[in-house]
Chain A
Amino acid sequence: MVTAILANRLVASPSRIGAVINRNVGALRSGPSYWLVLVSGFFEPVLYLFSIGIGVGQLIPSLTLGDRVMSYAQFVAPAMLAVSAMSGALAETTFNFFFKFKYVKTYEGVLATPVRPMEIALGELLWATIRGSLYTGGFLVVMIAMGLTTVGWAIVAFPATMLVGLAFGAVGMAVSTLIRGWQDFDLMFAGQFAMFLFSGTFSPVQDYPLGVEIVIGITPLYHAVELVRGITTGALSLGMLGNVAYLVAMGGLGVWLANRRMTKVLCT
């Protein structure tokens, strides 16, 4: 009896999580507007790869990272891969989630059914991860075609990008439950852009002063880039376990906070 109650309270139902994901598939079935949003998100990181990775890369013959030598494009491509996982998932759990949470009250309708806040959080997060993975899958194909990684490493890198999407998606969702309105999004995008520029994306963090390097070491995109770059360049290291642990913790914390906030705001 006690365990039954515990199970009832703690464990989320897979079929209800599936129903939350199904809602987004339904939005795709209902009309073209969501398709446009989905497709447009793919191109941004690809454009960066071409303009900076290849374009700027022409000026930088090669790059030495520790004992590894690689082309600049090889260096930038995994960072853009991590960025596309991040921005794909974030687009879903920030803009779309916030809109449904705050303005159109979609979730209030959902919570009148057996679905619980945790199941909404997990369903939306999985969907966000799927969206991020569509981008990273496409991006990996581009990387293979350009000889920036091998098929084997791409297959290993793919689940790593899913973890990146999950971690950022979860934190994005938690932030969305906290912000007051669209003006707060500008702040969030500023933070996202700063990470995009400085997380060892376009130049090795070792080139920065030590203090800056430490600050960057705390921010999440750095860990995502380190992990993904280690895999696509085939240079695995023990430190990558630390990156994985960081991302897992980040995802867990995000989901926990999102669930708490949704319960507090929607179930009053």
Chain B
Amino acid sequence: MIYARGLVKRFGEFTAVDGIDLDVAPGEAFGFLGPNGAGKSSTMRMIGCVSTPSGGELRILGKDPVRDGPAIRARLGVCPQTDNLDPDLHVFENLTTYARYFGIPRAEARRRATELLEFVQLTEKATSMVEPLSGGMKRRLSIARAMVNEPDLVLLDEPTTGLDPQARHLVWERLFRLKQRGVTLVLTTHYMDEAEQLCDRLVVMDGGKIVAEGSPRHLIDTYSTREVVELRFGDEAPSSYVDKLAGIGERLDPLPDRLLLYSADGDAAVSELHRRGFTPSSVLVRRSTLEDVFLILTGRTLVD
């Protein structure tokens, strides 16, 4: 579905995407994970054939995006990071009008619009204008709009950012259903749980480069330890404990409010801590997550 080698995007002097390789297979759910400015959206726009690569090789659905842009876009569904729904059209008209851009006949467009509004649970809002909709409703409408041409490949740039937990779960559930239908999904996200829930495979991007690649499980196994101990010390800055705790666990990461201690066996590490006479104000042993992988790879927390 997607094949990229040494893909580059430059804006003037600035390199936003710095030579990345990608292979996405049909039916796969593929994710981009990365901090702000990592180059996720720039990559998505190149895949969506609206932004011309500055270098490298890119094939989408086996075609060249520069030469066959319209033919490729006919088979893509795109949900951009910021909604660009049409404010002059009401909800239903937003979908039917969009369908017309794909050359879908009027009657068929109406049929699909009805079905899609049902799918994203916006049927009662059909004749509402876009402006008064809540952020989550707009997002769902954007997703519905991306489905209107029954695409083979769907690109979702941060599909659930800014949604409340309930709306998020609804979107996840809908995306999961698409995946079951065999639609290939490519998404970017800041949420680890989203990546773990939806993605078969993901890449972590930082500074325009891919710094890691694999399934969520694989990434956790490769880059993190099995367990993580979160320690809080009431008085002093967590960083001041890094030297004192040296030798316990495999790695220590001081965050502003807490210290992360990576260890295959969290409980053993905690015993060792107590044996050395440290008394943290709180101790939490948990399984390692993608969030930890992210922190290790980029030195940053995800949601800032």
Contacts and interface: CB of A to CB of B under 8 A. Distances in A.
Interface in B70-92: 70-71, 73-74, 76, 78, 80, 82, 84-90
Contacts of B85: 109
A112 B68 CA distance: 13
A23 B70 contact: no
B104 to A, nearest CB: 9
Interface residues of A, number: 33
Contact of B86 (A5, A23, A29, A111): A23
A108 interface: yes
A116 interface: yes
A23 B129 CA distance: 15
A110 B70 CA distance: 11
Interface in A95-121: 104-106, 108-116
Interface string A163-176: 00000000000000
Interface in B1-20: 11
A267 B51 contact: yes
B67 interface: yes
Contacts of A5: 67
A47 to B, nearest CB: 28
Nearest to B73: A114
A266 interface: yes
Given A105-B82, A116-B70, A111 B97 contact: no
A interface, by DSSP: helix, strand, loop or mixed? helix
Contact of A15 (B73, B103, B149): B103
B278 interface: no
A183 B51 CA distance: 30
Given A106-B84, A112-B78, A22 B100 contact: yes
B233 interface: no
Contacts of A113: 73-74, 98, 101-102, 149
Contacts of A29: 93
Nearest to B96: A26
B70 A114 contact: yes
A26 B129 CA distance: 12
Interface in A44-96: none
B97 A114 contact: no
A267 B76 CA distance: 17
Given A26-B96, A105-B84, A268-B51, A114 B71 contact: yes
Contacts of B93: 26, 29-30
A22 B97 contact: yes
Interface of A: 5, 8-9, 13, 15-16, 18-20, 22-23, 26-27, 29-31, 33-34, 104-106, 108-116, 266-268
Q: Which 7 A-B pairs have the closest CB atoms?
A: A113-B101, A114-B70, A19-B100, A27-B88, A109-B84, A105-B84, A112-B78
Interface of B: 11, 48, 50-52, 67-71, 73-74, 76, 78, 80, 82, 84-90, 93, 96-98, 100-103, 129, 145, 149
Given A5-B67, A109-B84, A110-B101, 7 more contacts: A15-B103, A23-B86, A27-B89, A29-B93, A30-B93, A34-B88, A106-B87
